[in-house]
Structure 1
Amino acid sequence: MQAFRSFFPFIFLTVSLLLSSQAAAKTITHAMGTVEIDGVPQRVVVLGQGSLDVLDRLGVEPVGVVKSLMPDYLAKTYQDDKYVAVGTVKEPDYEAIFTAKPDLIIAEARMASLMGELEEIAPTIMFRADYENYWQSVQANWRMLGEVFNKQEKVDAIIEQMNTKIAQTHDKAVADNFNALMVMSNGSKVAMFGENSRFGMVFDELGLKPAKSDDVEVAGSHGNLISFEYIADANPDVLLVLDREQAIGEGEGKAKARFDNPLVNKTHAHQQQRISYLDPTAWYITMAGMTAMDKMIDDVNRVL
């Protein structure tokens, strides 16, 4: 009897630990499927800047990051040698990732085809926005990371703040009845983006109407190539310009120089000082991040 009494606490402790472990295990749904994680990950490798932006706002410290094309607001922290460099936004360094001994890898859209290889190293989740349902998908990604790291309340609070900011911008744009062109400058080419496109949030969420010309239809997630004549003919109230070359580190201010021409200068947007040269990293590199989303809304608000 005495032996049984001594053994009983051991059984109780073992069962309690087992139940605790099972309770900590989670099935996480992400853009490319589901993954099982055991407890809150402690050694996270992040393979994109948008997801790193979110972890930064949530106070989650990774062990490995992509150090190329990192915006200044992240670089001031994550360029430090304490964070392992794990490749580029397009090409992971598998050896560096393996050496970092991650218990979770966060991949982004540019690495969708590499999920199989990454999953062989550690559980991997995909952080990726759906351009046709941008804001809804961004919230889903934020909530996913909130669930992974037990930061649900913080995510909910940030989403609530963001919804308020979006609604205020939307109401202002609708009240002013502004139309807009959303364009990306890339070398000698200019591409236009409309509703349900990569940058469709401008219209779908923030309330601006697409400015249109009869010269070309608006369709496609990668935009339509247009001319400065098209911009003059569409004559937008607001012109939003993304400089892709600056976003990928191939020069600064090139778009602004190109758009300083007689055709653009005759538009309402120029005459009313409603041309916004967008934060290139927020719109192109850290898109779907929390700080990036703040910056994107601010870029639009600036010209309303």
Structure 2
Amino acid sequence: MNARCVRILLPALTLATAWLAPVRAEIRIRHAQGELVLPQPPKRVVALEFSFVDALVAVGMVPTGIADDRQPERIIGPLRDAVKGYASVGSRYQPSLEAIAALKPDLIIADQRLHQAVYSELQAIAPTLVVDVRSSTYQEDLETLPVVARALGKEEQMRQRLRRHAEVMDKYARSIENDQKLTAVFGVSSDKGSWLHTEATYAAGVLKRLGFDTPLKHGRNRMGSEPYVKTGLEQLLAVNPDILLLGRYSQPAQIDSWAKSPLWRGLKAVQNKRVYWVDGNIWARSRGLISAELMTAQLHSLLRQ
């Protein structure tokens, strides 16, 4: 073939190759603010809640920006190791719109409860996926993850990760084997007060997955209908779980003074040495597959002591 024929054929071959190349369909997702349309899977993602960081890492992605409260240590260890190099966009409660815009994201993932008021401003910066994680249970979070994965173009990776997660949780549940049907409650304590997590919370959902019911029923307790119930020692004694898991938010915390009271010694968990201090950052702030597995591993280890 002479050079003239090559010059004629090359443009035609290029055009044919381009025509044959698969065209990826745009991504359309129903979410809390209607329909989100993405022309292609995003590469620069800003996560405005820790649970979204967990979801991104679970499918092998690193967020460009994270609302980390300007306290990187609040991102749990395994996630922090995986997201080195991200930019902070401020508080989860009031993220900096300027910092987000400076990152030029092609997707923002926001929480319905925390960020609904600034949705329009976020959407003006980049397409914004809004889901409800702040008030979600463990099971609801599992159902939300495929929606997030679809927006990321990582549906198959998430399906595989969810299967692996189920296997991990099943293995721990069999090992723990709560034959005595012990009840368990998780709470956090700081110098400002103490809060118990009802059955409608993420931590209670993880405990239920492992076979532990909670006596603190959402909307059916004497302390109100909120999922996180501010409590005193008398109220805690009324709940009286078999196992009490506590996360500390300050040193000292209110529960340190409770431990000096005769009422404290009336708790079943105290009498049977089943009061355990756990990592409040993992148990209360970090909803997600990775954090749930860390919670489970920590509980398993404590119960075997």
User: Normalising by structure 1, what TM-score?
Assistant: 0.78
1:102 aligns with 2:101: no
Q: How does 1:270-285 map to 2 (within 5 A)?
A: 270-285=270-285
Q: How does 1:66-85 map to 2 (within 5 A)?
A: 66-67=67-68, 68-69=70-71, 70-73=74-77, 74-76=79-81, 78=83, 82-85=85-88
**Aligned counterparts of 1:14 and 1:299: Cα–Cα separation in 2:** 53
The amino acid that maps onto 1:90 is: Y
Q: Which residue of 2 aligns with 1:187?
A: 191
The amino acid that maps onto 1:65 is: I
For the 8 Å contact 1:194–1:218, the answer to whether it is kept is no
Q: Which residue of 1 aligns with 2:200?
A: 196
Q: Which whole-Å deviations, capped at 9, do the CAs of 1:146-169 have from their partners, x for residues lacking one? A: 323343333223322332344455
**Partner of 1:200: helix, strand, or coil?**
helix
Q: CA deviation at 1:14?
A: 5.3
For the 8 Å contact 1:29–1:35, the answer to whether it is kept is yes
Provide structure 2 residue ranges, at least 5 long, that are not aligned to the other structure.
none
1:87 aligns with 2:90: yes
Which of 108, 114, 120 is matched with 1:116 structurally? 120
Q: CA deviation at 1:239?
A: 0.8
**Aligned counterparts of 1:77 and 1:181: Cα–Cα separation in 2:** 31
User: Normalising by structure 2, what TM-score?
Assistant: 0.78
Q: Which residue of 1 aligns with 2:292?
A: 293
For the 8 Å contact 1:273–1:303, the answer to whether it is kept is no
Cα gap change, 1:158/1:275 in structure 2, threshold over 3 Å: closer, same or farther?
farther
**Partner of 2:246: helix, strand, or coil?**
strand
Q: Which whole-Å deviations, capped at 9, do the CAs of 1:122-148 have from their partners, x for residues lacking one? A: 11112433746x233212332223323
Q: Which residue of 1 aligns with 2:140?
A: 137
Q: Which residue of 1 aligns with 2:265?
A: 265
Cα gap change, 1:168/1:87 in structure 2, threshold over 3 Å: closer, same or farther?
same
Which of 208, 218, 225 is matched with 2:230 structurally? 225
Deviates more, 1:86-95 or 1:5-14: 5-14
**Partner of 2:62: helix, strand, or coil?**
coil
For the 8 Å contact 2:58–2:161, the answer to whether it is kept is no
1:178 aligns with 2:182: yes
Q: Which whole-Å deviations, capped at 9, do the CAs of 1:191-234 have from their partners, x for residues lacking one? A: 33322345431564333233369x95365233333321233344
**Aligned counterparts of 2:53 and 2:181: Cα–Cα separation in 1:** 36
The amino acid that maps onto 1:235 is: N
Determine what percentage of the aligned residue pairs are the same residue: 21
Cα gap change, 1:35/1:166 in structure 2, threshold over 3 Å: closer, same or farther?
same
**Aligned counterparts of 1:204 and 1:130: Cα–Cα separation in 2:** 19
For the 8 Å contact 1:192–1:218, the answer to whether it is kept is no
Q: CA deviation at 1:27?
A: 0.9
Cα gap change, 1:52/1:219 in structure 2, threshold over 3 Å: closer, same or farther?
same
**Aligned counterparts of 1:187 and 1:103: Cα–Cα separation in 2:** 41
Deviates more, 1:114-123 or 1:88-97: 88-97
**Aligned counterparts of 1:102 and 1:202: Cα–Cα separation in 2:** 33
Cα gap change, 1:131/1:29 in structure 2, threshold over 3 Å: closer, same or farther?
same
For the 8 Å contact 2:193–2:254, the answer to whether it is kept is no
Provide structure 1 residue ranges, at least 5 long, that are not aligned to the other structure.
none
**Aligned counterparts of 2:164 and 2:9: Cα–Cα separation in 1:** 56
**Aligned counterparts of 1:286 and 1:200: Cα–Cα separation in 2:** 14
Across the aligned residues of Structure 1 and Structure 2, the Cα RMSD in angstroms comes to 3.3
For the 8 Å contact 2:49–2:67, the answer to whether it is kept is yes
**Partner of 1:148: helix, strand, or coil?**
helix
For the 8 Å contact 2:76–2:286, the answer to whether it is kept is no
**Aligned counterparts of 2:168 and 2:18: Cα–Cα separation in 1:** 50
